[in-house]
Structure 1
Amino acid sequence: MKLRVLWVGKSREAWVKEAVADYGGRIRRYLPLELCEVRDEKGALAEEMRRRECERLEKQVPPGATLVLMDERGDQLDSPGLAGFIGKQRDAAVGDMVFAIGGAYGFSEEFRRRGRLLSLSRMTFTHQMVRVFLLEQIYRACTILNNEPYHH
């Protein structure tokens, strides 16, 4: 299974870039991983920004991929639950699994209907932080699936 993590906008803070590189490297020990940024939209109404950003995200989703959208209104899983979800996709021989983080105004309703909605928390985090938190949780899931001690 190949894993792809998409997000809207550039990683701006040095600490975010460092953490993304660190967790990306850790995940690659377990799964092929591709990280992809798509351009954020500026100067339009929120609905139009969502639509345009989601069109860009859609172009990065391979046909037949399992799509997971990170959304504050999504289901919440604990870390073993996320590991189980990823493990089931892997064991079902899913070719591509894509996690997407939307822009400042989230996802369009049309795009939301395409994937499973997951939430990291009911709290609000910056989109920069969500990148790091998601990658850390994916890494944690990989260690759980491999019975390694990181998660205890």
Structure 2
Amino acid sequence: MTYTVDFVTVSTVGLESSPVADALAGLRANEARYFRNKYDHVFTVEAADDAPEAVDRVHRILREERGIVIASRPLEATAFQVENIRMAFVFYESGLAVNVMYTVDDPKKRAVGFKLSEGMEVPEELASRFKFARQKSKLAGTIRGSFFVIKNEY
């Protein structure tokens, strides 16, 4: 079932099993607000089991680009296109959010982003590979984020 993420009234719907469900819901709402304000796009998600294409796309790019396998269980995912950018998001039980930004017509603007919900530890599979910058959000508290540039075609 598709869930429209509300960034005015933040809800943990679909994320209840996460030990940082409130922070993860805030992170998800933060993404929804960004896409609404920048692209007038309504951010929707569905259970990861109902969005295997999005989950598989993110996992394939992580594996093929950097040999990364996320240990946490995916809870929700989404994939959509805004303007010339194909986006895919996966929200994990640990509080991790991974997004793939794939610009269709500019290979130099393709990246994978990692965002850590407030209160979660850096996952072991990312800890030795990335440094995380901090960012404040009214919806999500302190978000720690990092990214890498995608080199191959997908």
Determine if the TM-score, normalized by the shorter chain, exceeds 0.5: no
- Going by fraction, where is strand more abundant, 1 or 2? 2
TM-score with structure 1 setting the length: 0.31
TM-score with structure 2 setting the length: 0.31
- Going by fraction, where is helix more abundant, 1 or 2? 1
Q: Which structure is higher in RCO with an 8 Å CA cutoff and minimum separation 6?
A: 1
